[in-house]
């Protein structure tokens, strides 16, 4: 299972790096469930980015709910 525009190499960096095109942001997603969104110009872009990634993870059946 792969995500487009994503990179995960735990030997180099402990988080998944996901690059979004619209809005143009980068999300760092960690195994703890925490994330960092960078590159957003406005606060609504952060919410859009996180919601888009959530939808993509749901679509690919990669969400884990405990």
Instruction: Map out the domains of the chain as residue ranges.
Output: 6-59
DSSP for 44-57, please give it.
HHHHHHHHHHHHHH
Of 44, 47, 6, nearest to 28 by C-alpha is 6
**5 to 22, 26, 44, 65: CA distances (angstroms):** 12, 10, 21, 24
Q: What is the CATH code for 6-59?
A: 3.30.310.10
pTM of the model: 0.90
pLDDT tens, position by position, 1-43: 689 999 999 999 999 999 999 999 999 999 999 999 999 999 9
Q: How far apart are CA 44 and CA 11, in angstroms?
A: 33
Query: Is it the case that residue 64 has pLDDT exceeding 90?
Result: no
């Amino acid at each position: 299972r792969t995500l487009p525009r994503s990179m995960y190499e735990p030997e180099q960096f402990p988080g998944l790096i996901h690059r979004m095109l619209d809005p143009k942001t980068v999300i760092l997603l960690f195994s703890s469930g925490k994330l960092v969104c960078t590159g957003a110009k406005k606060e609504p872009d952060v919410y859009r980015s996180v919601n888009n990634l959530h939808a993509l993870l749901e679509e690919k059946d990669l969400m884990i709910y405990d």
